[in-house]
């Protein structure tokens, strides 16, 4: 409500200034009884515009409350209530299927210590062609060991 009143006050001053400028060009005094509709118009316009701006700002605040994630300020991930409800349903269904034995739980990733003498399996695209070909040969060797090739 405070924001609305502040907006209303600012917009009322602007509306009165615009009407005063128009009245000066038409040689009408704002203190005459003929100027009453002008005053009413200024108040009505200021109230309407302040109400519309207040509505837009409230909608933006509601959308920001829905945001989820560990982002910074403007980088937050937006998730609608429908998306989060669907994700919850899918997670519950997955747990139920795992409990019934119809679905296997995700296996824990195996961590094997890397030794420094092995050739890396991935290198930058900016690396020399010799290094890229060596990395490719290493990936092929690993795939053959695992029975994928």
Q: Where are the domains of the chain?
A: 2-67, 121-149
How far is the C-alpha of 16 from the C-alpha of 35, rounded, in Å? 11
Q: What is the pLDDT of residues 94-149, one digit of tens each?
A: 999 988 888 887 766 666 555 555 667 788 888 899 999 999 999 999 999 988 87
CB of 62 within 8 A of CB of 51? no
Say what the pTM is: 0.41
Look at residue 72 and tell me whether its pLDDT is greater than 60.
no
């Amino acid at each position: 409500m405070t924001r609305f009143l502040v907006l209303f006050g600012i917009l009322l001053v602007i509306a009165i200034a615009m009407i005063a400028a128009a009245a000066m060009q038409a040689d009408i005094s704002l203190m005459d009884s003929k100027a009453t509709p002008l005053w009413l118009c200024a108040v009505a316009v200021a109230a309407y515009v302040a109400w519309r701006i207040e509505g837009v700002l409230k909608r933006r605040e509601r959308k920001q409350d829905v945001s989820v994630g560990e982002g910074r300020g403007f980088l937050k991930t937006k998730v609608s209530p429908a998306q989060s409800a669907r994700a919850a349903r899918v997670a519950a269904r997955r747990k139920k299927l795992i409990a019934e034995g119809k679905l296997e739980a995700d296996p824990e990733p195996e961590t094997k210590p890397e030794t420094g003498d092995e050739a890396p399996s991935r290198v930058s695209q900016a690396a020399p062609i010799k290094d890229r070909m060596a990395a490719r040969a290493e990936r092929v060797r690993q795939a053959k060991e695992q029975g994928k090739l």
